[in-house]
Amino acid sequence: MQKKIFAVLLFLAATIFSFGSVVEKVRFNEYPPQMVFDLSEDAPVYSTDYDEYNRLLFLDIGNNSSAKDKNTRNGLPKYIEKVQRVDYGTSSGYFVTLNKNIFHKVSLRKNPNRVVVDFSKNAQNKQYTVVIDPGHGGKDPGAVGIGGTKEKDIALAVGKYLRDELKKDFNVVMTRDSDEFITLTNRSKISNGIGADLFISVHINSAENSKLSGMEIFYFSKKSSPYAERIAEFENSVGAKYGEDANSIVQIMGQIAYNKNQEKSIKLAEGLNRDLSARMRMKDRGIHGANFAVLRGISSPGILIELGFIRNPEDHRKMTNRTNQKIMAQKIAEHVRKYFY
């Protein structure tokens, strides 16, 4: 309690300063998780402090003339326990109690002026950030294989093992870490919102012919072979099935960035698919360029891994085995480290 009182006194002392900006609106973004304070066009100034013992974030951002509710609605219950606003006459203080094991970063953004609090379940203190994107989830099972095995479950299991392998060396953010549905658009937004350095999407292949087997990796390309185009069409159709137009996801990279990201993605994909298939004694089906919506919408290099065919008995046996899932994650992590270092 003494720590809390001391922190509050420090924060209240800071409010004697005059702030030119006015908070016009407080809003929440789900992907990436952010609390955003939209400011007036006046000089944007703010002050912040954090009481780690009580998980209490303090923000002083000037007079809030439009929001009179002292209990600002909590739009991010997964990250925030409680939000309160207190008027000091010349300024407004926001008291944001974070949930346990939640990290935050406060920054000032311009054009338009706003103060943004980014939330994460991972400490953002390493040099590079990797986004892991387990495909499908929630109401979208993905491909369904032998015995009713769902693509979404294998992708999430491997994604979690990969997260555990990488988090020692990188900032790691998952587009989903539970069985929830995330749109293709929001998967891209998560990656772009945190300025990811690499995006890895994990999927499982499927075909009517149960004899088809092996691994393959895709990178974003505006041109693709007929085969790669069919695979991309299948994955992109998930959006339409659940009310999202995948065609609305535009390529945000200019030509120079597109060429550079493609080159980096190909370099990672080539060595990884070769070594991963050899380690798992699975067929190497090569790497392919394709117009995947989830890769089209990101601003960093990225790959989409098809770990095997869910209807092929041998591939299915290997991919559903926990030991093999860990080995797959270890091999992917090994090549991610080579990619950066």
Question: Which CATH number covers residue 56?
Answer: 2.60.40.3500
Half-sphere exposure of residue 107, counting CA atoms within 13 Å on the CB side? 9
Q: Are the beta carbons of 26 and 37 closer than 8 angstroms?
A: yes
Signed CA dihedral, 218, 219, 222, 223: sign only: negative
Q: What mean pLDDT is predicted for residues 12-20?
A: 45
Q: What is the pLDDT of residue 89?
A: 65
With a cut of 60, say whether residue 191 has pLDDT above it.
Answer: yes
Q: What is the pLDDT of residue 17?
A: 40
Residues 165 and 266 in one domain: yes
Residues sharing a CB contact under 8 Å with residue 190, sequence separation 6 or more, in sequence order: 31, 32, 131, 173, 175, 182
pLDDT confidence bin for 282, thresholds 50/70/90: very high
More confident residue, 234 or 273: 273
More confident residue, 193 or 275: 275
Instruction: Round to whole Å and give the CA distance between 64 and 158.
Output: 46
Other residues' Cβ atoms within 10 Å of the Cβ of residue 127: 10
More confident residue, 247 or 307: 307
Other residues' Cβ atoms within 10 Å of the Cβ of residue 258: 16
CATH number at residue 201: 3.40.630.40
Q: What mean pLDDT is predicted for residues 197-204?
A: 97
Average pLDDT of the residues of the chain: 85
pLDDT confidence bin for 70, thresholds 50/70/90: low
Instruction: Round to whole Å and give the CA distance between 275 and 331.
Output: 8
Q: Are the beta carbons of 216 and 270 closer than 8 angstroms?
A: no
Residues 34 and 162 in one domain: no
User: Cα-Cα-Cα-Cα dihedral of 108, 128, 32, 296, to 10°?
Assistant: 120
Phi (first) and psi of residue 244, to 5 degrees: -120, 135
Q: What is the pLDDT of residue 44?
A: 66
Q: Which helix (H) or strand (E) holds 301?
A: none
Instruction: Round to whole Å and give the CA distance between 175 and 135.
Output: 9
Range from 25-39, 241-255, 317-331 carrying the lowest mean pLDDT = 241-255
**CA nearest 4: which of 111, 94, 84, 97?**
97
With a cut of 50, say whether residue 10 has pLDDT above it.
Answer: no
Residue with tokens 């200019």: 254
From 80, 95, 120, give the residue that closes a domain: 120
Q: What mean pLDDT is predicted for residues 171-181?
A: 93
Residues 180 and 225 in one domain: yes
Signed CA dihedral, 72, 73, 76, 78: sign only: positive
Instruction: Round to whole Å and give the CA distance between 305 and 287.
Output: 9
From 120, 140, 171, give the residue that closes a domain: 120
Residues 96 and 135 in one domain: no
**CA nearest 36: which of 78, 87, 94, 86?**
94
Peptide bond into 141 cis (omega under 30): no
Q: What is the pLDDT of residue 90?
A: 65
Q: Are the beta carbons of 235 and 246 closer than 8 angstroms?
A: no
With a cut of 60, say whether residue 179 has pLDDT above it.
Answer: yes
Residues 83 and 163 in one domain: no
Q: What is the pLDDT of residue 330?
A: 97
- Rg of the chain (C-alpha set): 23
Residues 51 and 141 in one domain: no
Peptide bond into 112 cis (omega under 30): yes
Q: What is the pLDDT of residue 11?
A: 47
Q: Are the beta carbons of 57 and 82 closer than 8 angstroms?
A: no
Residues 93 and 154 in one domain: no
Quick one: what percent of the chain has pLDDT higher than 90?
Answer: 50
Residues 73 and 172 in one domain: no
Q: What is the pLDDT of residue 5?
A: 46
pLDDT confidence bin for 59, thresholds 50/70/90: confident
Residues 88 and 150 in one domain: no
Residues 177 and 250 in one domain: yes
Residues 113 and 226 in one domain: no
How many structural domains does the chain have?
A: 2
Q: What mean pLDDT is predicted for residues 58-65?
A: 70
From 64, 92, 120, give the residue that closes a domain: 120
Residue 175: domain span: 129-340
Q: Are the beta carbons of 202 and 162 closer than 8 angstroms?
A: yes
CA distances for 202 relative to 48, 329, 334, angstroms: 38, 10, 16
pLDDT confidence bin for 124, thresholds 50/70/90: low
Name the token pair of 340.
């950066």
Residues 298 and 175 in one domain: yes
Q: What residues form DSSP beta bridges with 134?
A: 202
